Structures are given as C-alpha cells and as structure tokens.
C-alpha cells in the first residue's frame, strides 16, 4: 500500500502559497509594523484552521457522507495533516515576528499551552509515515488522538477569546464574528466526531 500511495504535492504548494500570501499581503499594505505583523498572524490561522478541520473530520465525514470528495479527504488525511502543520508553522513565524517587533513575550499560560500544542503538532508531523506507524504501534494512535484533540481545544479557546472583541468599533465586531464562526465550527466538528463514533458503535452492536 505504501508503494502505491499518491502524494498530492499540489496540496503543499497551494498551502505554502496561501499561507505566504496572508503574510505578504498585510506587510505590503502596512509595512513592517505592528498592524502588519498582527494581521499576518491572524490571517495565517485562517489557512491552517480549515486544514485542521479536514484532518480532524476525515473519517467522520465518510461515516455520514460517502462521496468521492469525502473518500479523497480520508485517503489523504496524512497529507492534509502535514499541510496543516506547514501552514501553522508559518503562522508561528508570523506570530513570533509580531511579538519580536513589539519587544514583548506572550504570557506564561500562552507559552505553555501553545508550546505544548506545537510540540504535539511537530511530533505528529514527524511520525506521519508508515515506518513510525509500525515502530510506535498502539502509541502512534495515542499520540495522534491526543494531539488532534489538544489542538482542537487550543483552537476553541482561541476563538472563544475572540468573543471579548478587539480594540473597538469595526474591529471589535469583526473579531467577535471570527470568534462566533471559529468556535461554532470547532463545536460542530466535535459533535460530528461524537455522532460518528456513536453510529459506528451502534453498527457493531447490531452485527
């Protein structure tokens, strides 16, 4: 099976271009400024989050909708996950540049919580290959399950934090809407995973 696996190299290309565009765009408009780096950090997440959701929901989607599209998502879950890691690493670069520009550091809770999320993400990316699956055996599944759900939690907490708004006016409303959409998608994704797990368990009980 490993020898016949088709790698969608175009996915990595599109991810790279989209992520870099969300960095270059704000910097082109606002220069190497606080606003430029802040927007770059915000917009890069809007590339990585959809990729995370597709990875998170790859199997549940096929439980309810068995289409060519959902089969493709499940078949390429590994590469969607790696594309997410690529996009989120670019986000990390933009976010780090923002704090460096401000000459500030994130609070301790953010450093610990976010640092653990990135540590798990990089561990998952490093073990997204057939050799690691065979070597780690059941521990591979534990690592990726814990990592996926912890990343889900970090996204949820981040988007819930947006509900408190921004600096005022239109930006407050925009951040609030981002929080509504992002947290709503996160909750919906979890609900779909739970529903899929229940449906699979019910099928096994009947058989």
Q: Is the pTM higher than 0.75?
A: yes
Give domain limits for the chain.
9-206
For residues 170 and 77, which has the higher predicted lDDT (pLDDT)? 77
Asked whether 126 and 85 are in contact (CB, 8 A), the reply is no
Examine the pLDDT at 2 and tell me if it is beyond 70. no
**Cβ distance 76 to 129 under 8 Å?**
no
The tens digit of pLDDT for each residue in 81-122 reads 999 999 999 999 999 999 999 999 999 999 999 999 999 999
**For residue range 22-32, what is the model confidence (pLDDT) as tens digits?**
999 999 999 99
């Amino acid at each position: 099976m490993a020898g016949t696996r088709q790698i969608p190299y175009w996915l990595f290309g599109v991810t790279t271009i989209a992520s870099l565009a969300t960095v270059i765009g704000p910097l082109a408009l606002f220069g190497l400024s606080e606003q430029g780096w802040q927007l770059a950090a915000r917009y890069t997440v809007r590339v990585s989050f959809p990729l995370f959701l597709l990875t998170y929901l790859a199997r549940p989607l096929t439980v309810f909708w068995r289409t060519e599209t959902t089969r493709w998502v499940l078949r390429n879950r590994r590469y969607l996950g790696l594309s997410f890691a690529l996009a989120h690493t670019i986000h990390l670069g933009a976010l780090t540049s923002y704090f460096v520009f401000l000459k500030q550091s994130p609070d301790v809770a953010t450093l610990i919580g976010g640092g653990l999320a990135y540590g798990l993400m990089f561990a998952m990316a490093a073990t997204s290959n057939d050799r690691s699956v065979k070597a780690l055996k059941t521990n591979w599944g534990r690592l990726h399950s814990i990592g996926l759900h912890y990343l889900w939690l970090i996204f949820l907490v981040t988007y819930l934090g947006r509900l408190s708004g921004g600096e005022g006016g239109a930006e407050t409303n925009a951040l609030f809407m981002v929080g509504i959409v992002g947290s709503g998608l996160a909750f919906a994704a979890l609900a779909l995973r739970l529903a899929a797990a229940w449906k699979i368990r019910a099928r096994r009980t009947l058989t």
